[in-house]
A = this chain, B = another copy of it.
Amino acid sequence: MDTITPPVSLLKPMNIPEKIMMGPGPSNCSKRVLTALTNTSLSNFHAELFQVIDEVKDGIRYVFQTRNRTTMCISGSAHAAMEALLCNLLEEGERVLIAVNGIWAERAVEMATRYGADVRILEGPDDKPFPLADLKKAIEQHKPKCLFVTHGDSSSGLLQPLEELGRVCHENDCLLLVDAVASLCGVPFYMDKWEIDGVYTGSQKVLGAPPGITPISISDKALAAIRARKTKSKVFYWDLLLLGNYWGCYDEQKMYHHTVSSNLIFALREALAQIVEEGLDAQIQRRQECARALYRGLSEMGLEIFIKNPKHRLSTVTGIMIPEGVTWWKVSQYAMKNLEIQGGLGPTWEKAWRVGIMGECSTLQKVNYYLFAFRESLKATHPEYEFVELKHQNGYH
């Protein structure tokens, strides 16, 4: 058999454009975050890496608003963290209730099913949150070990209120697991106050760090449930007892687990530092102000928002309804070289575009740029389209 010759495709220079990433993530990182990526890739037991790891843990606790000792990062995407949470907390045959009204909860169903859990589903509409009473009733009916809900669904732009839900879960001996991938730092989130037992978020979303590393935290209740397992969790890579040991969560001697991506940890550290410097409340207010400006601008162009009730909207992701007669991908393709105008996913597929107010894109200047480019792209690709201001679509105000 002959040998494989050097591929010519790799002999050309790589050329990645500088795009404005205003889809539902990844968002743009700051120069400071990107520069942090270029530090020396340290080895697992270097003191300098452990110091940064401790700082990252402090930062994660701050953005989740928790004192949980079991706070760390999964070396993988947010999907990996979703799977880590489910496979640590569910043994074969154990029951989980999943509140499904978007693509992320569907993924949780798929994952929990693969691990052999007894999966119960509470279905809801794509554009309205689950009322607390419905969730309570389903918990009382199914008596699950865990309830899984999505806080902010980036496939629709829907916000699920979480206040009181933890209390209801705990009154029923159930753990509350939350996907906060698209919501964190865009809307208030209080892990401890709201009695949430497990949560993860996306680095490449609102936090403004690169993708590939995912903050996760679990309560002492959830930790006790993992320690009480009869079998080891299926996945060694995500075993939160072993990984938590490396991340220094348990006052034990640290052991080698796997080679973490120090470059991504450095970048995440800087993204968290920027949030700490500005303050969590200020970050959230800034994104909500941007969202209001976006709603106003869309309304002025006569464009509707996928989530009708302003109270149910996630400030970080907005679905813009595709008007009749408009071919969505032509608009996206027109802008694509410089700006991401992303299409829909799951409930919004071929129904809406999705715009993200995340990372470095959470400024009024960027929102105005998006509105300008969106209008231009729509006009250029659909000259016949008429912009008529919507009178009754209001935003937060």
Contacts and interface: CB of A to CB of B under 8 A. Distances in A.
Interface string A158-200: 0000000000000000000000000000000010110000000
A100 B299 CA distance: 65
A26 B4 contact: no
A364 interface: no
Residue of A37, A259, A262 with most chain B CB atoms under a 10 A cut-off:
A259
State the main secondary structure of chain A at its contact with B. Answer: loop
Nearest to A20: B40
A38 B38 contact: yes
Contacts of A7: 55, 58-59, 61-62, 276
A272 to B, nearest CB: 6
A36 B14 contact: yes
A156 interface: no
Interface of A: 1, 3-7, 9-11, 14-19, 21, 23, 25-29, 34-43, 46-48, 52, 54-55, 58-59, 61-62, 65-67, 75-80, 83, 87, 107, 110-111, 114-115, 190, 192-193, 202, 204, 210-213, 232-237, 256-264, 266, 269-270, 272-273, 276-277, 279-280, 336, 340, 342, 345
22 contacts: A4-B61, A7-B59, A7-B61, A9-B55, A10-B55, A10-B59, A14-B52, A14-B55, A21-B40, A21-B43, A25-B43, A25-B259, A37-B38, A46-B336, A79-B236, A83-B236, A114-B235, A202-B259, A211-B259, A211-B260, A212-B263, A234-B235
Instruction: Pick the 7 closest A-B CB pairs, nearest first.
Output: A212-B261, A7-B58, A79-B258, A26-B41, A16-B39, A34-B38, A37-B37
